[in-house]
Amino acid sequence: MTEHLHIEGLGVEFNGFKAVNDLNLSVAQGELRCLIGPNGAGKTTTLDLICGKTRPMHGSIRYRGREIARLPEFQIARAGIGRKFQVPSVFRQLTVRENLEVAHCKHISVYTNILRSGRSAESDGLEKLAAFVDLSDYFEAPASVLSHGQTQWLEIALLLAQDSELILLDEPAAGMTHQETQKTADICNRLKGKHTIIVVEHDMGFVRQIAQVVSVMHQGTLLMEGTVEEISRDQRVREVYLGSTLGI
């Protein structure tokens, strides 16, 4: 299998505290990888390191054969890596369509913009993206009318509009109703194969619905990798979750 995302010896410290410590992680193209672990395990920091929000102190991150660790954030985004943050970054005053247009324009140069013959093909594409996250009925509605769940789905569509291949989702089902969580799982499942996805998630019910391989982090490093069944049976995993409400 061609190497796609390959993390080796990754580390960062905050005031001497090793938030991520000698982390090794490989994800294949089109794979959906779940990243779980108790609070403070370093999951969010790992996504921060991959997308360039935080600069690693040690190690390497190769994406499609290219070293991307320590590149500026915009270059990492341009390389095809998109990150959805826990706090939404949609423009609430703009419509769903306008939000998608803004995200789409971010990744194309002014030159391509000038050369483009018409906007209808692009508009078709954006409508398809809205349909993909079940927001067709809201295409011309301001983002401010969207529910919490719908806003999260719009965020995912924005990553697709900006042509991200590797999508990093940090707790995408947080604060969602049961029904919204189901729909988010469905969106993740439909992205599989076409995109490479890393999902950080607390909700094991959600993880069960989408997981292929699950990586478990503990104290900044990889504790184990396996299927949901394998990690649920593992004594070390059970121990790090002891006393937590995760219910592995």
Ligand X SMILES: Nc1ncnc2c1ncn2[C@@H]1O[C@H](COP(=O)(O)OP(=O)(O)O)[C@@H](O)[C@H]1O
Q: Which residues of this chain interact with ligand X, rule CB under 6 A?
A: 14, 19, 37, 39-45
At 168, which helix (H) or strand (E)?
Answer: strand 166-170
Task: Report the residue number, 45 or 150, with the smaller CB distance to ligand X.
Answer: 45
d(C-alpha 197, C-alpha 54), whole Å: 19
The partner in contact with residue 41, picked from ligand X, Mg ion, none with C-beta cut-offs of 5 to 8 angstroms by kind, is ligand X
Residue 215 interacts with Mg ion (CB under 5 A): yes or no: no
Contact criterion met (CB below 8 Å) for 49 and 61: yes
**Could you tell me the CA-to-CA distances from 69 to 4, 9, 79, 134, 195 in Å, in that order?**
14, 12, 12, 35, 21
The partner in contact with residue 84, picked from Mg ion, ligand X, none with C-beta cut-offs of 5 to 8 angstroms by kind, is none
Number of residues interacting with Mg ion: please give it, by CB under 5 A.
1
Task: Report the residue number, 44 or 162, with the smaller CB distance to Mg ion.
Answer: 44
**Could you tell me the CA-to-CA distances from 235 to 18, 19, 43, 207, 213 in Å, in that order?**
24, 23, 21, 19, 18
Stretches 30-38, 42-50, 52-60, 177-185: which one binds Mg ion (CB under 5 A)? 42-50
d(C-alpha 77, C-alpha 18), whole Å: 26
Q: Comparing C-alpha atoms, which of 39, 44, 40, 46 is closest to residue 25?
A: 46
Task: Report the residue number, 41 or 135, with the smaller CB distance to ligand X.
Answer: 41
The partner in contact with residue 40, picked from Mg ion, ligand X, none with C-beta cut-offs of 5 to 8 angstroms by kind, is ligand X
At 167, which helix (H) or strand (E)?
Answer: strand 166-170
Number of residues that this document lists for the chain: 248
**Could you tell me the CA-to-CA distances from 82 to 85, 104, 111, 156 in Å, in that order?**
10, 12, 23, 9
Residue 44 interacts with Mg ion (CB under 5 A): yes or no: yes
Stretches 38-46, 90-98, 105-113, 115-123: which one binds Mg ion (CB under 5 A)? 38-46
Q: Comparing C-alpha atoms, which of 51, 53, 84, 54 is closest to residue 68?
A: 51
Pairing between strand 213-218 and 32-36? parallel
The partner in contact with residue 74, picked from Mg ion, ligand X, none with C-beta cut-offs of 5 to 8 angstroms by kind, is none
The partner in contact with residue 21, picked from Mg ion, ligand X, none with C-beta cut-offs of 5 to 8 angstroms by kind, is none
* Minimum distance of ligand X from residue 144's CB (angstroms): 29
* Minimum distance of Mg ion from residue 84's CB (angstroms): 13
Task: Report the residue number, 161 or 237, with the smaller CB distance to Mg ion.
Answer: 237
Task: Report the residue number, 11 or 37, with the smaller CB distance to ligand X.
Answer: 37
Residue 54 interacts with Mg ion (CB under 5 A): yes or no: no
Task: Report the residue number, 10 or 126, with the smaller CB distance to Mg ion.
Answer: 10
